[in-house]
Amino acid sequence: MTIFLRKFISILIGSFFIAVGINFFLVPSELLDGGAIGIGLISHYVTGVQVGLVIILINIPIFIFSWFYNRSFFYNSLHGMLFSSFMIDLFYPLHAIGEQFNIPIVFAILGGITVGLGIGCMLWFNTSVGGTDLLGLMFARHRNLNPGVIIFMIDFLIVSIGSMIISDGSIFLSCLTVTCVGITTSLVSARKQEEQ
């Protein structure tokens, strides 16, 4: 029961950080992140569709894959993905407040750190927002690697592709965001591994 409660709290706190990071910092400056979040942001900037909804849609084939190949990750991450997607869309009105204070380079750094804290908090209890983070987590655990580093590499690929599609976005600032996400996630994950 204690483990369940701790996992629930980590999902709650992690989802809060992710939702604030995306809506308050990234959306006002049209910044990108990697993974399912990055794909959700690209879709939002191009079509206006909600980020959380896109994350859920992207996760359907990934969760089908994890059901067959690693059910523990399926069970551990399903609730994290659903709750964080809901929180992202619930907190969307924060973008209007963020637009009042928008300083792109500052928002790139703070957004990356905030999202990284959220992802790291969820990884602490082996849950995630799913998507490429889930694939990175499965691969990292299988190879005994730091999941933050694997997610970091996938994120750069998505940001590079997204920057070609989003003409108003800055590839430098988006890469800065991904760097801050990756470093923060890695630091939180590394601390957990040290305690083990």
Instruction: Examine residue 191 and state whether it is found in any structural domain, yes or no.
Output: no
pLDDT digits (tens, 9 = 90+) for 132-156: 766 777 777 778 877 767 777 887 8
B/e letters for 73-110, b = 16+ CB within 10 Å, e = fewer, are bbebbbebbbbbbbbbbebbebbeebeeeeebeebbbb
Q: Is 101 helix (H, G, I), strand (E, B) or coil?
A: coil
Which residues does 99 contact at the CB level (< 8 Å), separation at least 6?
28
Instruction: Examine residue 115 and state whether it is found in any structural domain, yes or no.
Output: yes
Instruction: Examine residue 178 and state whether it is found in any structural domain, yes or no.
Output: no
pLDDT reported for residue 43: 95
Instruction: Examine residue 60 and state whether it is found in any structural domain, yes or no.
Output: yes
pLDDT reported for residue 55: 94
Instruction: Examine residue 142 and state whether it is found in any structural domain, yes or no.
Output: yes
Q: Where does residue 162 rank: exposed (0-12), middle (13-18), buried (19+ CB within 10 A)?
A: buried
Residues of the chain with pLDDT under 70: 1, 133-134, 148, 168-169, 191-196
- Say how far apart CA 37 and CA 43 lie, in whole Å: 10
Q: Which of 131, 130, 157, 133 minimizes the C-alpha distance to 147?
A: 133
Check: CB of residue 114 under 8 Å from CB of residue 87.
no
- Say how far apart CA 105 and CA 137 lie, in whole Å: 29
Instruction: Examine residue 81 and state whether it is found in any structural domain, yes or no.
Output: yes
Instruction: Examine residue 27 and state whether it is found in any structural domain, yes or no.
Output: yes
pLDDT reported for residue 52: 96
B/e letters for 1-28, b = 16+ CB within 10 Å, e = fewer, are eeeeeebeebbeebbbbbbbbbbbbbbb
> Which residue range forms the structural domain that includes residue 158?
14-91+103-170
Instruction: Examine residue 141 and state whether it is found in any structural domain, yes or no.
Output: yes
pLDDT reported for residue 13: 94
Tell me the pTM: 0.88
> How many domains, the chain?
1
Q: Which of 173, 162, 184, 183 minimizes the C-alpha distance to 29?
A: 173
pLDDT reported for residue 146: 78
